[in-house]
């Protein structure tokens, strides 16, 4: 399942590793989970770290500050709203958008995978989320992800 980790940038992999060494109350979902851990079909520019735990969400801000210092990165806050926090971690001219999100929707698959210390959303959960995303925001990447999931053998009908 980790055959696709090279589809994530070294900076993305380093941030994921550092984050999950410090905090296990989140899980990776969205494009980075699909690209790095499930089907490796495209590149992704951000990391979507979700939690269902409000306390973990609050800890997340401190975890990002700590890991930025430990990795020699600059952290800039782009958005800080109830249940959503977007930061950019920049090091050596390479920026990485990291979103921390409280997931308020019940999970179809509440048990997450743990791969090399990183908690990852199962592919079925990502499929369900992508279907909702297509209806809600209709971004090209969501259509590409649904197509790739279908091509990998995961059927929407399932």
CATH number at residue 26: 3.30.460.40
Residue 74 domain-assigned (yes or no) = yes
**Between residues 128 and 8, the one the model is more confident about:** 8
Residue with tokens 């909702």: 132
Report the predicted TM-score, pTM, of the whole model to 2 decimal places: 0.91
- The structural domain count of the chain equals 1
Q: In this structure, is residue 120 part of a structural domain? A: yes
Residue that the structure tokens 């989320």 belong to:
129
Question: Has residue 31 been placed in a domain?
Answer: yes
What is the reported pLDDT for 52? 97
Phi-psi region of 139 (alpha: psi -120 to 50; beta: other; left: phi over 0): beta
Residue 158 belongs to some domain of the structure = no
In the predicted model, is pLDDT for residue 157 greater than 80?
Answer: no
Q: Is residue 155 part of a domain?
A: no
Residue 21 clears pLDDT 70, i.e. is over it: yes
Contact 149, 143 (CB under 8 A): no
110 within some domain: yes
Identify which of 27, 52, 55 has the alpha carbon closest to the alpha carbon of residue 123: 27
Top pLDDT among 7 and 140 is at: 7
| pLDDT at position 138 over 90 | no
- Going by C-beta distance under 8 Å and a sequence separation of 6 or more, which residues neighbour residue 153? none
Q: Using pLDDT thresholds of 50, 70 and 90, give the confidence band for residue 48.
A: very high
The boundaries of the domain holding residue 93 are 5-150
Confirm whether 156 is domain-assigned. Answer: no
Mean pLDDT, the chain, integer: 93
Q: What is the pLDDT of residues 72-127, one digit of tens each?
A: 999 999 999 999 999 999 999 999 999 999 999 999 899 999 999 999 999 999 98
């Amino acid at each position: 399942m980790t055959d696709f980790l090279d589809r994530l940038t070294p900076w993305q992999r380093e941030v994921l590793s550092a984050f999950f060494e410090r905090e296990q109350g989140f899980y990776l979902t969205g494009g980075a989970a699909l690209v790095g851990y499930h089907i490796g079909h495209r590149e992704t520019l951000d990391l979507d770290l979700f939690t269902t735990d409000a306390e973990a969400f609050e800890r997340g801000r401190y975890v990002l500050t700590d890991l930025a210092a430990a990795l020699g990165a600059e952290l800039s806050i782009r958005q800080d709203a109830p249940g959503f926090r977007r930061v950019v971690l920049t090091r050596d001219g390479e920026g990485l958008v990291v979103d921390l999100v409280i997931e308020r929707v019940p999970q179809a698959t509440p048990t997450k995978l743990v791969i090399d210390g990183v908690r990852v959303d199962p592919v079925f959960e990502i499929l369900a989320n992508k279907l909702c995303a297509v209806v809600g925001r209709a971004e090209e990447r969501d259509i590409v992800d649904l197509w790739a999931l279908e091509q990998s053998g995961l059927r929407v009908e399932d």
